[in-house]
């Protein structure tokens, strides 16, 4: 997943962050974890042994990683709280790439242990015990740096939605998407675009969840902006994480782009 420049990080700190309803995010994370768990428990051994099409992982390893995306929360809440947060929510999408190797190693080790169904059952039980009483303002020592618990939970919607989609495409199995989880994932990645390519010459619309302005150039003040990009949430998420290429999305009419500054190929993907 791509890293940001120091300038981008500075812009992220200056920009007023989007706010998320804590109760809805908590419910969305648990609901999406449940949808992924349901899909994983329905997989055959043959399906689990298939390539996941992601970093050389098998589907079994992808499933283990999905359990780890929420299981890590239990571990972090069990550790002493750092004094302060050092990673903001809008910075998070750009901080994960340096940790990809360790993530892969941890994923493979986890997948070689207990059956994936047991992993999900264990995580679900542990989260049900520790999450309800956890304070949103508590600082947790995440892999990328200390974060507010409330912010870290929003990042879990990205992990669960993105890799839930990976699971569906690798196995042909339907993975349901919780509406609030899909919305939070879409909005966080849209805000990351505005951080990476700041400006107001281009409007990116991802109905019904997000609209952001980006790309340096003339600012429009009224009416329809001269540069518009519009797509659906799942296509946007795949573009932002490198699962779909910009040219392919344009050719397949998954993206509608008009205007000379409506080409996002130079700024995508945001994570990979």
% of the chain with per-residue pLDDT over 90 = 87
Mean pLDDT of all residues in the chain? 92
Residues in the chain, overall count: 272
Mean pLDDT of all residues in 207-216:
95
What pLDDT does residue 233 have? 98
Q: Where are the domains of the chain?
A: 6-181, 182-258
- At residue 112, does pLDDT exceed 50? yes
Mean pLDDT of all residues in 31-43:
98
- Residues 116-128 as b/e (b if ≥16 CB within 10 A, e otherwise) read beebbeebbebbe
Give the CA count within 13 Å in the CB-facing half-sphere of 108. 10
For residue 89, the SS3 value is: coil
Q: Are strands 202-206 and 145-148 parallel, antiparallel or unpaired?
A: unpaired
What pLDDT does residue 2 have? 36
Mean pLDDT of all residues in 81-100:
95
Cα 63 to Cα 40: distance, rounded to the nearest angstrom: 7
Judge whether 6-181 and 182-258 match in fold. Answer: no
Q: Note the pLDDT tens digit of each residue in 2-24.
A: 333 444 444 444 557 799 999 99
- CATH number for the region 182-258 comes to 3.30.1050.40
Mean pLDDT of all residues in 150-167:
98
Q: Which two tokens stand for residue 258?
A: 């008009």
What pLDDT does residue 17 have? 75
Quick one: 6-181 is in which CATH superfamily? dinb family like domain (1.20.120.450)
Mean pLDDT of all residues in 87-106:
94
């Amino acid at each position: 997943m791509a890293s940001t420049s120091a300038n981008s990080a500075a812009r992220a700190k200056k920009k007023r962050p989007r706010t998320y309803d804590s109760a809805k995010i908590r419910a969305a994370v648990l609901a999406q974890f449940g949808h992924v768990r349901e899909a994983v428990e329905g997989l055959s051994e043959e399906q689990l042994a298939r390539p996941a099409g992601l970093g050389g992982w098998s589907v079994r390893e992808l499933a283990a990683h999905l359990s780890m995306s929420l299981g890590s929360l239990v571990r972090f809440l069990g550790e002493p709280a750092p004094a302060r947060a050092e990673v903001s929510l809008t910075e998070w999408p750009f901080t994960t790439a340096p940790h990809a190797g360790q993530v892969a190693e941890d994923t493979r080790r986890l997948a070689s242990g207990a059956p994936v169904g047991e992993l999900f059952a264990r995580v679900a039980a542990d989260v049900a015990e520790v999450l309800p009483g956890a304070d949103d303002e508590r600082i947790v020592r995440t892999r990328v740096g200390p974060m507010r618990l409330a912010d870290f939970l929003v990042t879990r919607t990205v992990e669960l939605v993105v890799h839930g989609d990976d699971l569906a495409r690798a196995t042909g199995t339907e993975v349901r998407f919780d509406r609030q989880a899909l919305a939070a994932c879409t909005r966080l990645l849209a805000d990351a675009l505005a951080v990476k390519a700041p400006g107001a010459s281009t409007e990116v619309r991802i109905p019904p969840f997000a609209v952001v302005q980006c790309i340096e150039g003339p600012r429009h003040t009224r009416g329809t902006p001269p540069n518009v990009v519009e797509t659906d949430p799942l296509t946007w998420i795949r573009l932002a994480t490198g699962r779909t290429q910009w040219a392919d999305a344009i050719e397949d009419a998954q993206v509608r782009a008009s205007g000379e500054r409506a080409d996002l190929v130079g700024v995508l993907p945001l994570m990979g």
